Amino acid sequence: MICLKNLTHSFKVGKKGKENEIQVLKNISLTVNRSEIVTVVGRSGSGKSTLLNLISGYISPTGGEIIINDTNVTHFDEKKWTKFRLDNLGFIFQSFQLIPSLTTFENVELPLTLKGINEAERKQKVEELLARVGLHDHADHYPNELSGGQQQRVSIARALITNPSIILADEPTGSLDSETEKEILKLILELNKDHGITFFIITHNEEVAAISNHKYHLHDGVLGKEGASVEV
């Protein structure tokens, strides 16, 4: 599903002609198989967000390759990436990234609108998915009328609405209290078990990492595998 081969990323700092190159990621190689939950654990500044942004296509690697669903996306331009994301990837963010002027229904519906899906099909898909994540009664609520856990459920529903094979998650429980965190992790496990969705999660939280099939640790741009964890 995801294959990283000797992935590196660096950037330059300083005045032109006197730049220093800072290497953020160093020869990252990683394979994520279908229907797995894989987590990458690391402190702030370890390179986790850079790694996720590379896999998402929001930045380009300095070296190496990124292969997703048997497609080499390493040198995709933004037009190709936009279509590829809509067809293959879903995203869950720590800060939810909901549009405040849109209702729950409209936030979840948005990716389908971008794909040009007709209104009747959009309505059916959104209603089914909101029921699945326990938000059917909140379809007309705006983000500021929802709790943090409910907002993250909206974010998860939006990530699922295009039936992606892979969901990329950035600290998915980072803004939640411990009880709500457990609810969201339970939902992720259910989606993985019942629908075979592959999750790639970056986190600093060992409790989040504990749900994964395989856990990696990222330190100063170097990735090390820490083995399998609990059964899912």
**Would you tell me how many other CB atoms lie within 10 Å of the CB of residue 27?**
15
113 dihedral zone (left: phi>0; alpha: psi -120 to 50; beta): alpha
The total domain count for the chain is: 1
Position 117: which residue type? Answer: I
In a domain, 232, yes or no: no
Whole domain around residue 119: which residue ranges? 2-225
In a domain, 171, yes or no: yes
Q: Determine the pLDDT at residue 228.
A: 42
Residue 68: φ, ψ to 5°: -125, 130
What CATH number did the domain enclosing 9 receive?
3.40.50.300
What is the average pLDDT score of the chain? 92
pLDDT over 80 (residue 227)? no
Question: pLDDT digit string (tens) for 78-96?
Answer: 999 999 999 999 999 988 9
Question: Under a CB-based contact definition with an 8 Å cutoff, are residues 94 and 174 in contact?
Answer: yes
In a domain, 27, yes or no: yes
pLDDT over 60 (residue 230)? no
Confidence (pTM): 0.89
In a domain, 231, yes or no: no
Q: Determine the pLDDT at residue 229.
A: 42
In a domain, 143, yes or no: yes
